Each structure stands twice: as C-alpha cells, then as structure tokens.
Amino acid sequence: MSEEQDIPIQTLPLDGWHRAQGARMVPFAGYSMPIQYEGIIAEHLWTRSSAGLFDVSHMGQLLLSGEGVDEALEALLPADVKGIGLGRMRYSLLLDEEGGILDDLMLSRWLGGIYIVVNGAVKYDDIAHFHEHLPETVTLNHMDDRALLALQGPKAFDALVRHVTGDHPLAALGFMTGGRFAIGGVDAWISRSGYTGEDGFEISIPAESAERIATLLCGEPEVKPIGLGARDSLRLEAGLPLYGHDLDPGTTPVAADLGFALSKRRREEGGFPGHARIMRERADGPATKRVGLAVEGRQPVREGAVVLDADGGEVGKVTSGGFSPSLQQPIAMAYVPAAMAAPGTAIRLGQRGKIFTGTVTPMPFVPHNYVRKGA
C-alpha cells in the first residue's frame, strides 16, 4: 500500500508559473496542482474547441533498458512489448498475480529502451514493483528531472507546429506515435497522444525548461492553461478510466472493458500475471462490467453512488460521475452486473437517500477526434 498520506506535498516544476497564471491549487497525487484557472466549464469547452495546456508532471516517467527488457516486461504486462516499433506507443496494464490492475500505463519504444508513463498517485508503488520483479540485467531510470506537458484540442497542432523542429515533420505523427524533436530549441520527446479524446500531444522535456516552454505555448492565441478539473471532465466524456477510481487491484481488464489492452499473441501464449483468470472471464464473461451511464435530470451522481436492483439492493457502484459540459447532462461510469450491462438498460442509482435513473450508454460519450495516419 502507498504511504502517500505520510509524504509531504511536493511541488511541480511549474508551481510558481501556475500561481502567476491565477491557478487555484489543490493537493492531488501527492503534489500541489492547479485545479482551475478561469473555471472548469470554460476550460473544458476551450479545450474541446481550441487547445489547452495541461501540466501532468506528477506522472512517473520511467526508462527501462538492458538485456531482455522486452521479455521482462511481458512477464508483468499483457502487452506485445516485442511488437512495439521504434516511436510507437501502446496502452497497457500492470497486473498482480490474480490479474487485478495495479496501474494503467503507456509504453513507447525509444532508441535507448522502453519509455513508460505511469500514474502519479502510484508511481512509487509501480517502481517498487518493477524493482522487485525485473531481472538484474534490466535498468530502471526514474526520470524525475523531467516535466510532462499535454497540449490538447483541435488546434493543438496549429499552435505546436510553429515551435517544433526535428528530423521529420510534426505532421507525420499519427495517434499513438512519437519521436525526438526540439521545441523552442529544447530537446523533447513528443507523442501524439493524450487523455481528453481530442487530438493532441504529450511533451516530455527537462524540468528546468518547463516554464519557458509553457510560456511559449500559452503565448499562442489558441492556447490557454487548463487545470485538473477540466482534465477530469474531459476524460470522463471520452470514456477514459482513472486509476484509483475506475480501476484498482480488485478490477480485471475484462471487467474494466479494456480487452483491447490484451494483445492477441499474449492471449494465446500467456505468460503474464492472471492469464488463466482473464481468459476464463473472456470466455464466460465477467461478473460485473464497467459501463457508461446517461443520467436523467440535471444533478450529477458522483463516485460512490450505488447501483440498485429491482428490490433496492446494492449490486454495483458508480466510480466516476459529473456534469458533461459538452452534452449538458450528467454522465457517469459504473460497475454493474453483467446482466445489466447491455446498452439501453435502465439503471436505478442511489445517492444520499435520493434515487436517480440512468441508461447504459456506449462510451465514449463524446466522439474521439484522434488523428490516425495510414488507418
């Protein structure tokens, strides 16, 4: 278990910059982070229509290298690590022995090894897990001297391309690919990826250059700084789970509706934690499943609201919920019994003594706008 509650709140490389921009700061994942600048709804809608800059430097940036690194990672993850080409990315899951999700993460192949971005709230737990299970031939470098920025929205490319140089044009990047570039003269790893459902980029740079690059990007007319509040509402509309809320060790990839993260070769060959259980769930169906809910009325249901059966008994839980600025209605994610998971199923919810009605709805709630090359 994490000892996060005993660790003093840390500051991001951009802490002073955020405060100078008028950010309201809150504790999150062990860091003081900006929750909003001008307001969550305004920032959400700006990102959907233009471009928003997010500081996600609390995330863990790891570089794993050495002999047998692909095989070592495949013993811990269900991803086809060997099949990741240079500059390619893959979403995967760190699993415990029972197939429970310890974290969700992103893998990229760099010239020097496998670059992994893990969630900030559990990054030290992940690092300890890797150290425990990786062979001595594999080196783990926690790149805590780097910042991570995310520029998201339909005008993100227009703003970023003005400041980027590299061996190949930024336009050559499609969704889930990345490469080495220079932004404002600073060496960077830039990938076309993000957590909003929009086109966008994630930019790994030296922490000492973060303020310079943030100021450069926010000097473009399309770009405004965006806080954690809008990041959460954007990812909810995009149907993207948040670790520690929609995913945890009690959840399997099949129950979480993340079957796409189980590569075909790995499903057939096995060799990752929980393989037998996960294959049984794929064949027989999970007991519960993560679904999207469109909630009637204007009041949102929040994490912890209960899913009720016809007799009023608790049979599931809401794990994320809020008001969708794009759709102008409450939406939520919940785990419900498999028999209630079909789209169109009416769901009764209980929150603080009040009953709400929702309908199972396919996710994403708002269509993804990723730019895919050669699709």
The type of residue at 349 is: L
Least confident of 4-18, 82-96, 100-114, 158-172: 4-18
What tokens does 324 get?
């969708």
- Tell me phi and psi for residue 93, to 5 degrees: -135, 135
Average pLDDT over residues 145-155: 98
pLDDT at 222 over 60: yes
Q: What is the dihedral of CA 256, 350, 244, 233, to 10 degrees?
A: 90
Least confident of 3-12, 205-214, 249-258: 3-12
pLDDT at 4 over 50: no
C-alpha distances in angstroms, 6 versus 58, 59, 129, 147?
17, 19, 20, 24
pLDDT at 214 over 60: yes
Residue with tokens 């893959």: 90
Average pLDDT over residues 238-252: 98
Average pLDDT over residues 6-27: 93
If you classify domain 287-361 with CATH, what class do you get?
A: mainly beta
Q: What pLDDT digit, counting tens, does each position of 302-328 carry? A: 999 999 999 999 999 999 999 999 999
Q: What pLDDT digit, counting tens, does each position of 96-133 carry? A: 999 999 999 999 999 999 999 999 999 999 999 999 99
d(CA 319, CA 331): 11
For the chain, residues classed under CATH 2.40.30.110 are 287-361
pLDDT at 5: 46
For the chain, residues classed under CATH 3.30.1360.120 are 1-285
pLDDT at 49: 98
pLDDT at 101: 98
| CATH 3.40.50.2000 correct for 1-285 | no
Mean pLDDT of the chain: 96
Residue with tokens 């086809």: 80
pLDDT at 1 over 60: no
